[in-house]
Every structure is written in structure tokens, then in C-alpha cells.
Amino acid sequence: MLHAQTISVVITTYNRPDALEAVVRACFMQNDKNFEIIIADDGSTANTRACVERLAAASPVLLRHVWQPDQGFRAAMARNRGTLAATGGYIVFLDGDCIPQRDFIARHRMLAEPGCLVSGSRILMSEALTRRVLDDGIDVSATAPLTRLGWRLRGDLNKTLQPLGLRWPDLGRTSRKFTWRRIKSCNLAVWRSDLEKVNGFDESFTGWGHEDSDLVVRLFHAGVRRKDGAFATEVFHLWHREAQRDQETSNRKVVLERAANKITQATIGLREHAQPAP
């Protein structure tokens, strides 16, 4: 089986440098360091830029910062720009509030398979634990299983077995049927060639919601199967307030229409960035 060589980790962020620092420093501690980091910044202020400069100076891997002006929620565009800045053939999308465990890259490399994407998994953290982690600089990826079990028993984590490090091999993960469950671009791995095949994320989506489902639906119709990354790729998702979801209903309607019509191409995506300005 052909596995990914250099992996590009595209980390989206917006004005949350304390969380971003925790995420990137956990990336530095990976036991597989054959990867690069692209910070896909959706218009953060100077505080985030200063944070990225500090991180880049200490990074054991190549780290780039791709910034775009703040014109509202444009995560799809940020991820496309991050993809275009990447040099790896396999892209792992990670949100800037999702702390990876130390075998995150190794596990994604293990699951990488031509013709497939991997929908990763996450462990939700409480507001109280999130505050402690960020304020006290707790290295979540280095915590012992008993510590994590204590967090779970206190209600600070929403899962039990995954935080304890339970893993299962790459068996029975691939499905030929489409499912809407667990489509999260906060932890999603896709071959660059497959992203190019469907023109990447669709930047025509406005406001929060479902641009990740849209990508997975279009990839499915383009023949890309989905692998479940549960019990292999879990990240610790730091608590945050829910985003404004004013456009969620209309965005979901667009995705459902595209699913019914078997659309594969993004209306505004990677190719539009490659075109010279008129």
C-alpha cells in the first residue's frame, strides 16, 4: 500500500493565540516529524502574528504562516490558501483549538490510503479544563492515562476509552456508503490530488457551517471513499463559545441539493486562486 511521505498539517486559526500555541507545541512533540505546518490564518490581529513568529523560531519542522484579511468567517478560503502553500501530497486539516496526541501524525500516516480520506475524531474538553490547560500551560499530550481518567470522571472530557490511549489497527475502517456522521474539518486528512480533483473547499459558502460536509459529499461523488479515524487520530478539542450560525440552514440546504445532484466541483475553490487577476 502507498502511504503518505511528507504530510502537510494545515492549522486554521482566528484570534486565539493561546490555543494556537498549545496546538502547535503539541505538533512539535510528535513522534513522527516528517511533516510541515501551515498556519492558515483567517484574519487574526498582530497578537497571533507575534505568536506564530515565536513558534516558527522554535519549530523542529518547516512552519509557514498564510494570512488573509478579516472579512468574516472564511475558513474555506483559509484552508484553500493553506493547501496551496503546502508542499506535501497529503493534507491533514487541523483546527487551531484541537490539541493532537503525540502519535497523531504517525496514525494519520498509517491510515493514509490512495482513494480515501480520513475523518478524524475528537475529545471535547470542558470550559474549566480548557482554562486550566491554557492558563497553566499543561501539556495535554504528555498527561498520564490516570490523569485523563480523573478528568473524565469529573466531567471534563466527553469520552472514556480514547483519552486512555486505546487504539485499534487499520481494519474495517473504510466504507463505500456515504454517512453524514462525524464530518469535521477540525481533523480531516485528504490527498492533495483528490482536493484538486474537486477544486478544494467551496468559498461560496457564507457564514458558519457545512463547508466541510460539502467537501466530503463532493469527494464521495468523485469516487473518494471515507475511512473512520476513531481510536487512532483523536485530538483534544478546547472549549469555545458556539459560533454564530445564521447561515447554517441555507448552507445545509445547498449541501443537500449537491448531494442529490452528485455535484463534485466547488464553485469557488483552489483553481480560482491559481488564476491571474484581470
* Distance in angstroms (rounded) separating the CA atoms of residues 164 and 147: 9
Q: Which residue has the higher pLDDT, 129 or 247?
A: 129
Collapsed DSSP state (helix, strand, coil) of residue 21: helix
Residue 248 has pLDDT above 90, yes or no: no
Question: Is 32 part of any domain?
Answer: yes
Would you state the pLDDT for residue 278? Answer: 45
Q: Are 47 and 17 in contact (CB under 8 A)?
A: yes
* Distance in angstroms (rounded) separating the CA atoms of residues 236 and 192: 25
What is this structure's pTM? 0.94
> What residue numbers bound the domain in which 72 lies?
7-200+224-242
Question: Is 261 part of any domain?
Answer: no
Number of domains in the chain: 1
User: Can you give the CATH number for the domain in which 180 is found?
Assistant: 3.90.550.10
Question: Is 262 part of any domain?
Answer: no
Question: Is 65 part of any domain?
Answer: yes
| Residues 110-121, mean pLDDT to the nearest whole number | 95
Tell me, letter by letter, the H, E, C secondary structure of 75-101. Answer: HHHHHHHHHHHCCCCEEEEEECCEEEC
Residue 118 has pLDDT above 90, yes or no: yes
Residue 7 has pLDDT above 90, yes or no: yes
Q: Kindly state the percentage of the chain with pLDDT values over 90.
A: 79
Residue 277 has pLDDT above 60, yes or no: no
Residue 247 has pLDDT above 60, yes or no: no
Question: Is 207 part of any domain?
Answer: no
Question: Is 191 part of any domain?
Answer: yes
| Residues 137-160, mean pLDDT to the nearest whole number | 96
Mean pLDDT is lowest, of 98-112, 131-145, 230-244, for: 230-244
Question: Is 20 part of any domain?
Answer: yes
Question: Is 218 part of any domain?
Answer: no
Q: What are the distances in angstroms from CA 41 to CA 15, 34, 90, 185, 274?
A: 9, 23, 20, 15, 19
**Residue 123: burial class (beta carbons within 10 Å; 0-12, 13-18, 19+):** buried
